[in-house]
Amino acid sequence: MKILIVDDEMNICLTLKNILKDEGHICEYTIKSNKIMNLFESFNPDVVLLDVRLDGANGLDVLQKMKDKNSQTTIIMISGHSGIKEAVRAIKIGAYDFLEKPLSLTKVKIIVNKAYEFQTLSRNYNNLKTTVDEQYQIVGESKPIKEMLMLVQKIASSDSKVLIRGESGTGKELVAYAVHNGSKRRDKPFIKFNSAAIPNELVESELFGHEKGAFTGAHKSKDGKIEQADGGTLFLDEIGDMSLNAQAKILRVIQEGEFERVGGNKTQKINIRLIAATHKNLEALVEQGSFREDLYYRLNVIPITTPPLREHPSDIPLLIEHYSHFFSNDLKIPLKTFSPACINELQSWEFKGNVRELRNLIERIYILVDKEIIEPEDITILTQKPQKTDFWNQTLSYKDKKREFEIKYLSTQLKLNNGNLTNTAKALNLQVSNLSRKIKELEIKY
């Protein structure tokens, strides 16, 4: 660990340097206030021992400058004359601790080691947070994605319930995390619960927790997902698959902010933001009696719809680049390049599994294809079934087939240009008026 010692007394600097070098640390020191920041930047210390009162400078001002330069540096203040007021100000600026002179060398070693442990934990947390943020990154610059992200940004700061609708593989969990990460609860837990992934008989135990002896095999008490999410966000994925009994208990959580563990009679208060998601038609489930109408209206405060990939194929090149870098780093495989022809081919695919299907395909390519440049034949060979509809082999009248071709072609081109009529006409070398007339004639919606 690198430690910078700043004090206007040479004997203190030398004493601290010697005892910390004996502990295995690399140390530098200065007694000159005009050299502090230059040494700080060139040495780039992990920990700084900084005197409050320096010759020609105020240690608290130096602390502020150091924190402005590198907020991750752990700084321990030293003082022989400061009072409570200066100590409070130092902590507010970002000092890790405050040592009083005369210094206890044993205490110095203990605090320096604790400061290093704290910094290591902070660094690991920040790295983990960065990894999680990258994992949950929403990629896209198309109109549907931009509109969805604008809505997320607008609602994130509130505590309103959110219901995310969309096909499988469209990134509903990513949207839920984006709402959480943009809220005042971002530093609290984001807890996921998938109703479809857990057997019905275990849903309530996993969600609400259970007491010891509540059922066979319950050898000890267990916190449920709701307790784990206290203060943060609970994301209920595939809410349409939840049993009616569990739905009733979730409704109580929403209405009263309280619940009871399975096998328990103690009512517990809870403070969570609830986000639900489903790919099912909840209105139809309400009509069938398999989803509570009162819960539906409680959840559907702010609806968000995740668009299927076929509605924003212009984002496919960005998604390919994003997942290509991800799997290159994750699998420790050199970065592959997707040829323009390959990207064009993928943009013509249907992707019924949406972004998840594209992600899985890229992972498969990184594992199975030993080439740096990926061509169309490399991806078609890996698919288990033809991705394209058998358009050319269908036998229809020439007139009907021509109309079908024009609809498919113009619809795709409009999507590639984010629904912009002028840009589409320019790309196709058509007059805007002619393109507009053809769209009306073919009854194309865009």
**Among residues of the chain, what percentage have pLDDT more than 70?**
93
> In this predicted structure, what is the pLDDT of residue 197?
82
> In this predicted structure, what is the pLDDT of residue 242?
92
Q: Which CATH class is domain 2-127?
A: alpha beta
Query: Do the beta carbons of residue 267 and residue 260 sit within 8 Å?
Result: yes
First to last CA, the chain: 60
Has residue 82 got a pLDDT over 90? no
> In this predicted structure, what is the pLDDT of residue 55?
81
> In this predicted structure, what is the pLDDT of residue 384?
54
Has residue 297 got a pLDDT over 90? yes
Instruction: Point out which residues pair with 58 in neighbouring strands.
Output: 53
Backbone angles phi, psi at 246, to 5 degrees: -65, -35
Handedness of CA 287, 292, 297, 302 (dihedral sign): negative
Write the pLDDT tens digit of every residue in 416-425: 888 889 999 9
Question: Worst-scoring range by mean pLDDT, 25-29, 263-267, 296-300?
Answer: 263-267
**CB-count exposure of residue 315 (10 Å: 0-12, 13-18, 19+):** buried
The mean pLDDT value for 9-23 works out to 91
In the CATH hierarchy, which fold is given to the domain comprising 310-380? Helicase, Ruva Protein; domain 3 (1.10.8)
Instruction: Point out which residues pair with 81 in neighbouring strands.
Output: none
Token pair 């994003």 in the structure block, residue: 322
Taking the C-alpha atoms of residue 305 and residue 151, their distance in angstroms, rounded to an integer, is 10
Question: Worst-scoring range by mean pLDDT, 15-19, 66-70, 131-135, 391-395?
Answer: 391-395
Instruction: Point out which residues pair with 294 in neighbouring strands.
Output: none
The CATH-assigned architecture of domain 143-307 is: 3-Layer(aba) Sandwich (3.40)
Has residue 124 got a pLDDT over 80? no
> In this predicted structure, what is the pLDDT of residue 83?
64
Has residue 386 got a pLDDT over 50? no
Write the pLDDT tens digit of every residue in 17-33: 999 998 889 999 999 98
Residues 6+ apart with CB under 8 A from 160: 301, 302
CA distances from 146 to 168, 170, 176, 189, 312 (A): 20, 14, 16, 26, 11
> In this predicted structure, what is the pLDDT of residue 392?
64
> In this predicted structure, what is the pLDDT of residue 283?
95
The mean pLDDT value for 212-235 works out to 89
Task: Give kind and range of the element (H or E) at residue 365.
Answer: helix 354-368
Residues 6+ apart with CB under 8 A from 213: 263
> In this predicted structure, what is the pLDDT of residue 216?
79
Instruction: Point out which residues pair with 57 in neighbouring strands.
Output: 54
Question: Could you tell me which residue, 227 or 445, shows the higher pLDDT?
Answer: 227
Has residue 387 got a pLDDT over 60? no
Has residue 346 got a pLDDT over 70? yes
The mean pLDDT value for 151-165 works out to 95
Highest averaged pLDDT of the listed ranges 157-166, 192-201, 399-408:
157-166
Average pLDDT over the chain reads: 88
Write the pLDDT tens digit of every residue in 352-381: 999 999 999 999 999 999 999 999 888 877
Question: Could you tell me which residue, 72 or 163, shows the higher pLDDT?
Answer: 163
> In this predicted structure, what is the pLDDT of residue 126?
63
Highest averaged pLDDT of the listed ranges 67-71, 146-150, 211-215:
146-150
Closest CA to 143 of 275, 267, 314: 314
In this structure, the number of other CB atoms found within 10 A of the CB of residue 221 comes to 14
> In this predicted structure, what is the pLDDT of residue 445?
78
Question: Could you tell me which residue, 195 or 285, shows the higher pLDDT?
Answer: 285
> In this predicted structure, what is the pLDDT of residue 284?
94
Assigned token pair, 315:
């984002």
Taking the C-alpha atoms of residue 232 and residue 206, their distance in angstroms, rounded to an integer, is 18
Assigned token pair, 34:
């005009």
> In this predicted structure, what is the pLDDT of residue 389?
47
Closest CA to 173 of 278, 243, 272: 278
> In this predicted structure, what is the pLDDT of residue 442?
87
The mean pLDDT value for 121-145 works out to 76
Half-sphere exposure of 338 (CA within 13 A, CB side): 22
Assigned token pair, 232:
């943060």
**Among residues of the chain, what percentage have pLDDT more than 90?**
55
Residue 335 DSSP code: P
Taking the C-alpha atoms of residue 249 and residue 154, their distance in angstroms, rounded to an integer, is 29
